[in-house]
Amino acid sequence: MSENSSYKTRKVITIGVVSELTGLSERQIRYYEERKLVFPERSEKGNRKYSFADVELLIDIANKREEGVQTYEIRQDMLRAERKKEKKMRRELLRGEINARFGIQKER
């Protein structure tokens, strides 16, 4: 297991177990995959494998759906959050480059 991979992000859980953990049917889980809300990996035999983070995400999606939020809206929110995260990372990278260039030490 790599340093960046934690138990929470490793894709090792089968769709049947995910169904039991979330209370969603396997069909609902596959539908959320079709709608690009969750991205399982595939085993050599083609079986879907999910992570604990995916399970948490599916529970969050199910809760939003119960509140009447459409899958399109959920996907748009996910994309906005992803863009915001990328923007923050770019800002931090740029700040680090500027600090390195001008020898600025981070205050503790």
Q: Could you give the CA distance from residue 100 to residue 108 in angstroms, rounded to a whole number?
A: 16
- Domain shared by 13 and 65, yes or no: yes
pLDDT in tens, 3-53: 456 889 999 999 999 999 999 999 999 999 999 999 999 999 999 999 999
Label residues 27-52 b or e (16+ Cβ within 10 Å = b): ebbeebbeeebbebeeeeeeebbbbb
Answer yes or no: are the C-beta atoms of 69 and 37 closer than 8 Å: no
- The model carries a pTM of 0.77
pLDDT tens, residue by residue, 53-93: 999 999 999 999 999 999 999 999 999 999 999 999 999 99
Please tell me whether residues 10 and 46 are part of one structural domain: yes
Q: 85 is in which domain, residue-wise?
A: 71-108
CATH code, domain carrying 37: 1.10.1660.10
Same domain for 62 and 80? no
The total of structural domains in the chain comes to 2
What pLDDT digit, counting tens, does each position of 11-22 carry? 999 999 999 999
